[in-house]
Amino acid sequence: MSQKFIPLSVPNLKGKELEYVAHAVETEWVSTGGPYVNDFEMKVAEYAHCKGAVSCQNGTSGLHIGLEVCGVTKDDEVIVPILTFIAAVNPVKYIGAEPVFMDCDDSLTMDVAKLRAFCENECSFDDGKLTNNATKKHVKALLVVHIFGNMADMEGIIDIAEKYNLRVIEDATEAIGTYYLNGKYKDKHAGTIGDVGIYSFNGNKIITTGGGGMIVSNNEELLKRAKYLTTQAKSDELYYTHDEIGYNYRMTNLQAALGLAQLEQLEGFIQTKKENYEFYKSEIDKIPGLRILEFKDNIRSNYWFYALYIDESYSINRDQVIQYLASKKVQSRPIWGLISDQKPYEGSQIFKIEKAKEYLEHVVNIPCSSNLIREDAEYVVECLKQPQVV
Ligand SMILES: *Cc1c(COP(=O)(O)O)cnc(C)c1O
């Protein structure tokens, strides 16, 4: 029998997806009105233990709105991670604001010590306003990403944000279901600790609506404003009065129908992903030159993506691993390129970038779908035990 293709991360739609979507079609509620949208918003807020949730078309539009409701304007700067998916940072540019790129630590999330050093040494703080000494611009906000389902150091981040009056936008697009097990934020979910958080339901995320996103917050004013801006900023429903520029970012009932069915299965997906992670970790850590990066031990991670670290002592390098696995029908991919190396960001401000460069060169993601079966994971491990140049 020929080996089947093992994808990196694909949807798992074996619950009530068909039933709910069929219901949406049968009742002819397929657009942005309809009961599933409100229901999905409510259930996500309930799941993440926060005051409310506002649906949107995808994670990217959610981040755009997140920045807007935090009051970021074209004259401001936003501190962002350098090692992440570019969709986390593009919305800063949609607004016309400028990013300041920050390094990661060994968890791949924002390095809090460097963040503190930047605020302390490169900026001035007067009248409740942090100003970047180099550009004289107002550093208004901080956008953190919970990479691969890990949790950024929110205690450290909120501490700095409070000290320097920074708004905090959490890009939790990869981390729905991740929460603290202990400490100051015990039981708090990724996305619900800062001013506003964003989840994504893109096809490669842990649960999917095809494309979709959710803005979550404990601040009712921000939630109200997010709903207003995602629905064309209609100040009067009947007479179509608009006092601001709004967006058509609301999720459709079809997407929400999928989302509800997926949310019902989320804890099960996390359980499967945890088991596969533990299997990979125990087997791969035994292979000289390889290891699986860990999730922090003070959190319950959603185990979204597995990061394989390839040391110099392994016989083939990152790109060779990707090619070799591809030849074995195993899909893998490098971690993203540094955002400051992408054309639209050339010349952007960067602050002491070191770790991000190292991890970029050494990490690849390996198959992690919630429908990955043990036999497939065993096959991936067997391949990694016999590296070849192809
Ligand atoms: C997936 C993702 C996004 C964007 O979400 P979409 O729903 O695809 O728009 C943003 N940031 C990060 C870190 C992501 O992984």
Last residue of a domain, one of 263, 280, 305: 263
For 141-183, give the DSSP string: EEEEE-GGG----HHHHHHHHHHHT-EEEEE-TT-TT-EESSS
pLDDT at 114 over 90: yes
Q: What is residue 336's DSSP assignment? A: P
Q: What is residue 191's DSSP assignment? A: T
Cα-to-centroid distance, 64 and ligand 1 (Å): 12
Distance, CA of 56 to CA of 357 (rounded, Å): 33
Q: How many domains does the chain have?
A: 2
Mutation choice for ligand 1 from 200, 201, 214, 339, CB with most ligand atoms inside 8 A: 200
Q: Beta-strand (E) ranges in the chain? A: 52-56, 76-81, 98-102, 123-126, 129-132, 138-145, 167-171, 179-180, 196-200, 213-217, 234-236, 241-242, 290-292, 299-300, 306-310, 333-334, 349-351, 363-366
Are residue 120 and residue 240 in the same domain, yes or no? yes
pLDDT at 269 over 80: yes
Are residue 313 and residue 359 in the same domain, yes or no? yes
Average the pLDDT over 169-179 and give the result. 98
For residue 285, being part of any structural domain is answered with yes
Check if the beta carbon of residue 172 is closer than 8 Å to that of residue 204.
Answer: no
Mutation choice for ligand 1 from 90, 171, 173, 230, CB with most ligand atoms inside 8 A: 173
Atom of ligand 1 nearest to the CA of 147: 13
Cα-to-centroid distance, 352 and ligand 1 (Å): 25
CATH of residue 349: 3.90.1150.10
Structure tokens at 296: 């922090």
Question: How much of the chain exceeds pLDDT 90, in percent?
Answer: 97
| Structure confidence at residue 305 (pLDDT) | 98
Last residue of a domain, one of 263, 297, 324: 263
Question: How much of the chain exceeds pLDDT 70, in percent?
Answer: 100
Report the chain's terminal Cα–Cα distance, integer Å.
22
Nearest in space to 212 (alpha carbons), one of 224, 223, 204? 204
Distance, CA of 303 to CA of 176 (rounded, Å): 10
| Structure confidence at residue 237 (pLDDT) | 80
Structure tokens at 79: 């501190």
For residue 9, being part of any structural domain is answered with no
Are residue 378 and residue 229 in the same domain, yes or no? no
For residue 2, being part of any structural domain is answered with no
Measured from the Cβ of residue 117, the count of other Cβ atoms closer than 10 Å reads 13
For residue 247, being part of any structural domain is answered with yes
Ligand 1 binding site (Cβ under 6 Å of any ligand atom) = 58-60, 84-85, 87-88, 145, 171, 173-174, 200, 202, 213
Cα-to-centroid distance, 173 and ligand 1 (Å): 5
Read off the pLDDT of residues 199-212 as tens digits, 9 standing for 90 and up: 999 999 999 999 99
Distance, CA of 196 to CA of 173 (rounded, Å): 12
pLDDT at 188 over 90: yes
Structure tokens at 157: 């981040």
Atom of ligand 1 nearest to the CA of 200: 7
For residue 79, being part of any structural domain is answered with yes
Structure tokens at 199: 């989840």
Are residue 312 and residue 236 in the same domain, yes or no? no
For residue 344, being part of any structural domain is answered with yes
Measured from the Cβ of residue 206, the count of other Cβ atoms closer than 10 Å reads 29
Instruction: Please report which confidence band the pLDDT of residue 239 belongs to, taking 50, 70 and 90 as the band edges.
Output: confident
Are residue 249 and residue 271 in the same domain, yes or no? no
| Structure confidence at residue 345 (pLDDT) | 97
Cα-to-centroid distance, 169 and ligand 1 (Å): 14
Average the pLDDT over 304-325 and give the result. 98
Are residue 273 and residue 233 in the same domain, yes or no? no
Structure tokens at 341: 């190396």
Cα-to-centroid distance, 212 and ligand 1 (Å): 10
Q: Which domain holds residue 326?
A: 266-385
Pairing of strands 241-242, 213-217: unpaired
Cα-to-centroid distance, 63 and ligand 1 (Å): 9
Measured from the Cβ of residue 71, the count of other Cβ atoms closer than 10 Å reads 13
Cα-to-centroid distance, 121 and ligand 1 (Å): 32
Distance, CA of 79 to CA of 92 (rounded, Å): 10
Mutation choice for ligand 1 from 144, 202, 208, CB with most ligand atoms inside 8 A: 202
Average the pLDDT over 170-187 and give the result. 98
Are residue 210 and residue 300 in the same domain, yes or no? no
Instruction: Please report which confidence band the pLDDT of residue 1 belongs to, taking 50, 70 and 90 as the band edges.
Output: low
Read off the pLDDT of residues 30-78 as tens digits, 9 standing for 90 and up: 999 999 999 999 999 999 999 999 999 999 999 999 999 999 999 999 9
Are residue 58 and residue 200 in the same domain, yes or no? yes
For residue 12, being part of any structural domain is answered with no
| Structure confidence at residue 44 (pLDDT) | 98
CATH of residue 223: 3.40.640.10
Cα-to-centroid distance, 194 and ligand 1 (Å): 18
Are residue 257 and residue 281 in the same domain, yes or no? no
Are residue 274 and residue 236 in the same domain, yes or no? no
Q: Indicate which residue's Cα is closest to atom 2 of ligand 1.
A: 173
Last residue of a domain, one of 244, 263, 282: 263
Mutation choice for ligand 1 from 8, 147, 171, CB with most ligand atoms inside 8 A: 171
Nearest in space to 329 (alpha carbons), one of 4, 2, 1? 4
| Structure confidence at residue 91 (pLDDT) | 98
For residue 3, being part of any structural domain is answered with no
Are residue 310 and residue 248 in the same domain, yes or no? no
Are residue 149 and residue 274 in the same domain, yes or no? no
Going from the C-alpha of 29 to that of each of 43, 53, 85, 315, 331, the distances in angstroms are 19, 21, 33, 56, 37
Mean pLDDT estimate for the chain: 97
